[in-house]
Amino acid sequence: MKSVADLDTPAVTVHLDVMESNIRRVHGHLAKHGIANRPHIKTHKIPAIGALQMRAGAVGITCQKIGEVEVFADAAIADDVLLTFNVLGREKTDRLMAVSRRLNRLAVVFDNEVVARGLSEAAVRHNGEVPFLIECDTGFGRNGVQTPEAALDLARTAMKLPRLRFEGLMTFPNREPATREFLSRALELFKRAGIRVPVVSGGGTPAIFRAQEFPMLTEHRAGTYIYNDVMVVASGTATWDDCAMRVRATVVSRPTDTRAVIDAGTKVLTSDQYTVTGYGHLIEYPDAVVTALSEEHGIVDLSACRERPKIGDAVSVVPNHCCVVSNMVDEVYGVRQGTVEVTWPVAARGTVR
Amino acid sequence: MKSVADLDTPAVTVHLDVMESNIRRVHGHLAKHGIANRPHIKTHKIPAIGALQMRAGAVGITCQKIGEVEVFADAAIADDVLLTFNVLGREKTDRLMAVSRRLNRLAVVFDNEVVARGLSEAAVRHNGEVPFLIECDTGFGRNGVQTPEAALDLARTAMKLPRLRFEGLMTFPNREPATREFLSRALELFKRAGIRVPVVSGGGTPAIFRAQEFPMLTEHRAGTYIYNDVMVVASGTATWDDCAMRVRATVVSRPTDTRAVIDAGTKVLTSDQYTVTGYGHLIEYPDAVVTALSEEHGIVDLSACRERPKIGDAVSVVPNHCCVVSNMVDEVYGVRQGTVEVTWPVAARGTVR
């Protein structure tokens, strides 16, 4: 078997022991609290990893693009899929109906009537049915109806359209008291209106270990936990030891005593920063700071490091945001105890539509 | 022919009239000043576009990864290639020597002796020769020798190694007086040492129209100019009309009166910001601000817009940094006068090594 040290760089590695432990830990927590686990596959985009999540007890998977649903349907690893994106336009709704025939359940979310009408028309065209959740903006400021009343209104409107089946409510992320209040109020309104709400779907990796504080949740969607990254560590939800994805890179230049340049830039690590500083955490040099990235260069400030790497040394970078790294590369390497155990094509990489 | 309006979104379009005009304008400027044009193909990663640049008079191309060199060698569009990256490790140097046999000239840059020795050993193994430039850090703070004296020292060291051929000096970018001073001083040192310096290679799109202020330059490498983007417009080097790459996206949600959500996030537009604010410029709504990106959502603040898009409307986004967008998608659409004239696979996408 090939040694990890023999992988040419940059190479995206996944430490299998760590990943398997992440799967067990997260699934165990949600199971203990009776919350169904519906992992989001956008993080890894690899059917074999989705299969491991299903085997651990996941109820189904979450996708963000129809292209992801199609790739995972081809792999037949789960027959219950939730697509958490407003699906709009004839080309996409036709694809949605086509792939839904290959699954036991393909549910979608929406937050407006235009999307609802398009889905209904597609379901009529294809003689199918579309189960749906109402997406609620409970404070994140992205998609979603703005009030519990609007959630009920949209559900009622959509329930009058042919071949749409109301299944519940969805939000992201569920961390703040405002989310709990929004969902409680909405459930009260639906109850008063005599509408059953079988599913309440929450999401987000930093929210996993507090999901039980939202007693209305029937399921939880999280993606990043499979690998973890600098952002998850910064949120307090994981430690460096829980970070399964490590980008192996090589020091290609040491222009000054305090500067190293590695062969990984935005075209591998991406420029995602969100709330963290720097562009990745170097396992071997924890005091190093990746201060800047060009497309193919990473600039590392070694000022705070007592030990410093030399030209040709390999380093292991925990990226800021693993979900976008997966989408940059054609394959990742599953490694264990220093050897490459498996090479996985990132089958759903680049499914922009 | 397919209409641009019929492209499902998100879709990366290239406006061919604009791109062709960019090629002419940049080549014309450099030609007027007697500076050879060696476009950097990392921006587009598409051999057919490289062929257009060669046809316009480029002396050769620049690549940043061996994978790019291999893809472009397969396409046989240029036989003179400069690889501007420290090539390190046996796997890469073997690939370098192999692909060099398919080209008339494949030159590299380096800034340290470790890389020089590895290249020399590879050249001996393969019975070849490696032409090289010394990479100089003339102020950018990335790779490069730190002083003109160090440039001469490294050149001398490398010239003593078997099968390396000194060809000159390379820097990026050439905008500041410090760059001119560094190069002048270095050329003086090389002259005194009796070493000819046939090539002085500068680079960078914002530097193109001031390249003549660096009279020692024999060639210029620029990539971004082929498409231009928000960063180039911010630098004053192009206008919105010069931006050939436009990411077509659809408004999928209008959660509030001032918020629109489009179906393009970091997995198409990337989170590159560098010096600019926001995450892209909307051609149809120039007062809109893309305030945040999730992986598949773009959040647009419409507060300053009198006209506002409705759900289902398409928008055209000039990305912040076109070079990283190319690397996200499998194909781009060449469009002219509202129709799709050509679909180009991004042949060198994902060539991380």
pLDDT tens-digit series, residues B29-87? 999 999 999 999 999 999 999 999 999 999 999 999 999 999 999 999 999 999 999 99
Closest C-alpha among B274, B332, B45 to residue A350: B332
| A297–B143 C-beta distance less than 8 A | yes
Closest C-alpha among B330, B57, B332 to residue B220: B57
Q: What is the pLDDT of residue B275?
A: 85
Q: Please, which residues bridge with residue A202 across strands? A: A220
C-beta separation of A165 from A156 below 8 A: no
Q: How many CA atoms lie within 13 A of A281 on its CB side?
A: 21
The shortest CB-CB distance from A330 to any of B111, B273, B350 is to B350
Q: What is the pLDDT of residue A167?
A: 98
Can you read off the two tokens belonging to residue B84? Answer: 């501007």
Backbone angles phi, psi at A34, to 5 degrees: 65, 25
Task: Work out the minimum CA distance from B225 to partner chain A, whole angstroms.
Answer: 16
Nearest residue on chain A to B350, judged by CA atoms?
Answer: A329
Q: Which residues does chain A have within 8 Å of residue B329's beta carbon, measured at their own beta carbons?
A: 350, 352
Q: Binning pLDDT at 50, 70 and 90, where does residue B174 land?
A: confident
Q: Binning pLDDT at 50, 70 and 90, where does residue B119 land?
A: very high
CATH superfamily placement of domain A33-227: Alanine racemase (3.20.20.10)
Tell me which residues of chain B, numbers 128 to 147, contact chain A at a CB-CB cutoff of 8 Å. Answer: 137, 141-146
Nearest residue on chain B to A325, judged by CA atoms?
Answer: B267
Mutation for testing the A interface, residue in B92, B110, B295 having most A CBs under 10 Å:
B295
Q: What is the pLDDT of residue A320?
A: 98
CB contact A258 to B (< 8 Å): no
Q: Which residues does chain B have within 8 Å of residue A328's beta carbon, measured at their own beta carbons?
A: 327-328, 350, 352
CB contact A267 to B (< 8 Å): yes
| B296–A64 C-beta distance less than 8 A | yes
CA distance B256 to A144: 9
Q: Which residues does chain B have within 8 Å of residue A297's beta carbon, measured at their own beta carbons?
A: 142-143
pLDDT digits (tens, 9 = 90+) for A276-317: 999 999 999 999 999 999 999 999 999 999 999 999 999 999
| B323–A329 C-beta distance less than 8 A | no
Within 8 A by CB and 6+ apart from A7, the residues are A13, A248, A333, A340
Helix, strand, coil abundance in chain A, percent, nearest 5: 35, 25, 40
Q: Where are the domains of chain A?
A: 4-10+232-345, 33-227
CA distance B27 to B209: 11
- For residue B42, the 8-state DSSP code is T
The shortest CB-CB distance from A299 to any of B142, B310, B312 is to B142
Give the architecture (CATH level 2) of B33-226: Alpha-Beta Barrel (3.20)
The shortest CB-CB distance from B10 to any of A143, A324, A353 is to A353
pLDDT at A343 over 90: yes
C-beta separation of B284 from B316 below 8 A: yes
pLDDT digits (tens, 9 = 90+) for A102-125: 999 999 999 999 999 999 999 999
Within 8 A by CB and 6+ apart from B186, the residues are B136, B148, B151, B152, B169
Q: Binning pLDDT at 50, 70 and 90, where does residue B318 land?
A: very high
CB contact A89 to B (< 8 Å): yes
Summarize the confidence of residues A38-67 as an average pLDDT.
98
Q: What is the pLDDT of residue B289?
A: 98
pLDDT at B193 over 90: yes
CB contact A291 to B (< 8 Å): no
Indicate the class that CATH gives domain B4-10+232-345. mainly beta
Q: What is the pLDDT of residue A213?
A: 95
The shortest CB-CB distance from A295 to any of B42, B141, B353 is to B42
| A9–B312 C-beta distance less than 8 A | no
Mean confidence (pLDDT) of chain B: 97
Q: Binning pLDDT at 50, 70 and 90, where does residue B8 land?
A: very high
